[in-house]
A and B are shown apart, each in its own frame.
Chain A
Amino acid sequence: MTNVPVEGIKIPDIAHPEPQNNWRKYFSFSTDHKVIGIQYLVTSFVFFLIGGLLSMVIRAELITPPADLIDRTLYNSMFTMHGTIMIFLWIFPSLVGLANYLVPLMIGARDMAFPRLNAAAFWMVPVFGILLMTSYFLPSGTAQAGWWSYPPVSTQNPTDSVITGEFIWILAVAISGVSSIMGAVNFVTTIVRMRAPGMTYFRMPAYVWTVLSAQLIQLAALPALTAGAIMLLFDAAAGTAFFNPEKGGNPVLFQHFFWFYSHPAVYVMVLPIFGVFSEIFPVYSRKPLFGYKVVAVSSLLISGVSVLVWVHHMYASGTPGWMRMLFMASTMLVAVPTGIKVFAWVATIWKGKLRLDTPMLFCLGALLMFVFAGVTGVMLASVPIDIHVNNTYFVVGHFHYIVFGTITMGMFAALYHWFPKMTGRMYFEGLGKVHFILAFIGTNLCFLPMHLAGLHGMVRRVSSYDPEFAFSNVLASLGGFLLGMSTIPFILNMVGSWAQGKPAPDNPWRAIGLEWLVSSPPPVENFEALPIVVSGPYGYGKSDPLVENAAALKEG
């Protein structure tokens, strides 16, 4: 099903030119999925630092109740750009980068199905990232309508500019969308059609299942945002009235378009991290993943349900009662497959021989914070509670436990875990632990007090607030600064280890998986001979071989 027999030998096609074996290949239009994966990861991390810098300014403004540090319009621009950068330039591209690196290796393919498309999709990221940054130099300043860009706020043009920050914002998001769709087509084709002999669906690592589920969401839902963005662009630039109530349009329609994509998008972001959990917990507990098949299928279930819940972001947008009830029920339904996964992870760790290396620490911390975010999520799903805390810091707290506590922490876990494979070097364990401790304390210190402030009514997206909320905000700011500091040991570790770390063996964690059967880092085209897979993943504690031809996978 995945392979055609080799019939005759023709002239070699040079579809995968061998990149120069030095740092320069990372600045070239390489088509090697591993180079592209690292390009994505490094680029997105640079934007993570930029987005983080903006959040430092936000937290500095909020450490005191009055708006005394920056101008209010600048503040609007700060949180808009912070959210946009973190989502479209950190979380999405870093996850795509990780998947780019891992998926072909994990399914036993030599590369992605469309290597050149892959490279083109990557190079759009720096392009739209820089484009977005240029809006700082416009007379209108950057977009200021928040990451969701609701009209009528987003269609205003107070400076009467020809090109507004909002215009650039829509353009950047549109390019990001094109890049994502190109990536999604590539991932789905690769996973469906490029698996090694014997690599059946139920022998794929759970991570690959989560990537497949996430990319299917991209294909099914992202075009809705594209549609909404096109209409918004015309409203802002060509005088149409789609979302303009003064001329008969309907602003809530934009919210539907936006959330029809952006709710499922939160699962695009979190599913691959669920996959990371499913890979890392078994390795550091020395036990098979509990209920592998159920965990695998639950990813698809989550994708399915996730496109049916978007109105929970719009309870307070004049949504009729019956619709609120319906979406309250469907939202709570998502908790079921999610709960199954949490149960499976806990059962995997349970009574295992735990090895608390940095990747495991980050995973445990992330799981803990995810459970907390799930609880506040279900609270928000309940209409009576949401009407009370909608648009307050409670929501900000909820989703930061996800986007930082779960996704970013999970991404760090993945980076540490696969660092030896990617670079051929070990990282420094001590620095990794320092990073974890700072990040874990920082996250909770920053985002836990936000729940309190929100419950007491502190609204989001304002630069001044009632002194009543001062205590929570001082804590949150201190936590925020701690998070800023936590990136220092990480950067030192990554840069230092890549240059000077101990050489890594092929399989430093004694993990089971195709990627660990080849050298660190794997050669171009990954496998000397394609693996012939003979058993499922996670054979910890058993002695079944994973492939029939382990010796033939590596050169020499």
Chain B
Amino acid sequence: MDSSISTEKSDVAIAAHAAHAHEEDHAGNSMFGFIVFLLSESVIFLSFFAGYILLKTTTPDWLPAGVSGLEVSKPAINTVVLVSSSFVAYFAERALKQNNLLVFRLLWLLTMAMGIYFLAGQAIEWSELEFGFGDGVYGGMFYLLTGFHGLHVLTGVLLMGIMLAKSFVPNNYAGGHTGVDATSLFWHFVDVIWIILFVLIYIWQ
């Protein structure tokens, strides 16, 4: 019934269709939806944190035999890099808003580099540790939390790579910068989670 009419669309019908498409604020919807999603995603981390706190406070032999704890200084440097990268991302986003594409790309690339530095630092730390995933609740929790967070950092870096590549597509920003805004927001989110994680795992030993 509907298809027969719509296949022979008159100009009027096409105009009406175009009007429909623009009744909606697609970019606004996407950003709103993404924020809702991030709030929900944060509950996974909150659950892991709650589990960590519960297990840490109730497990009799928290550290596996022969493990004395974690070295803090290198992860602290890593933390500083990751947290500062959030500011870099912020300035990148601002440059884009001012239509300064070159500065945007440079700062964006710097953010990515800092993210990769963080990941590399974590990989090195993992390789030097004396305990593994299966070593007691402690080992499991450590790798679970850092690994799950690391996966988010990796996702962030990949998203930034996509956004960077897209910035070379002509007319990419005709419809706004929702993609960059959302990626940047995601990056701040990943940072905030890391700060909590750092306090829980490294400071509170």
Q: Interface on A for B, CB 8 Å cutoff?
A: 3-4, 6-7, 9-13, 15, 18-21, 110, 113-114, 181, 184-186, 188-189, 192-194, 218-224, 226-228, 230-231, 234, 238-242, 247-250, 253, 256-257, 260, 523-525, 528, 530, 555
Contact = CB atoms under 8 A, between A and B. Distances in A.
B72 interface: no
A229 to B, nearest CB: 10
Interface stretch (B39-47, B84-92, B106-114, B121-129): B39-47
Nearest to A4: B25
Given A193-B29, A227-B47, A11 B18 contact: yes
A226 B44 contact: yes
B176 to A, nearest CB: 12
Nearest to B14: A12
Given A220-B43, A241-B140, A250 B55 contact: yes
B51 interface: yes
Contact of B61 (A18, A248, A257): A248
A238 B147 CA distance: 14
A238 B133 CA distance: 8
Contacts of B37: 181, 185
B74 interface: no
Contact of A242 (B15, B23, B40, B140): B140
A524 B2 contact: yes
Interface stretch (B3-11, B159-167, B192-200): B3-11
Interface residues of B, number: 51
A247 B59 CA distance: 10
A219 B44 contact: no
Contacts of A15: 21
Contacts of A192: 32
Given A20-B3, A238-B133, A250-B58, A222 B40 contact: yes
A9 B15 contact: yes
A110 to B, nearest CB: 6
Given A20-B3, A114-B29, A189-B36, 5 more contacts: A223-B44, A227-B47, A227-B48, A242-B137, A528-B16
A249 B137 contact: yes
Given A21-B4, A223-B44, A239-B134, A9 B19 contact: yes
Contacts of B60: 248
Nearest to B139: A240
Interface in B131-185: 133-134, 136-137, 139-141, 144, 148
A234 B137 CA distance: 12
Contacts of A234: 133, 140, 144
A228 B4 CA distance: 51
Contact of A193 (B1, B2, B25, B51): B25
Contacts of A221: 43
A241 B137 contact: yes
Contact of B51 (A6, A186, A238, A257): A257
Question: What 9 pairs across the A-B complex have the smallest Cβ distances?
Answer: A227-B47, A223-B43, A240-B140, A219-B40, A223-B44, A239-B134, A21-B3, A189-B33, A523-B2
Contacts of B140: 231, 234, 240-242, 249
B15 to A, nearest CB: 5
A382 to B, nearest CB: 27
A228 to B, nearest CB: 7
Given A4-B25, A10-B22, A223-B40, A248 B59 contact: yes
A113 B24 CA distance: 9
B203 interface: no
B25 A238 contact: no
A506 to B, nearest CB: 14
Contacts of A248: 59-61, 136-137
A192 B29 CA distance: 9
B17 interface: yes
Nearest to A220: B43
Contacts of A242: 51, 55, 137, 140-141, 144
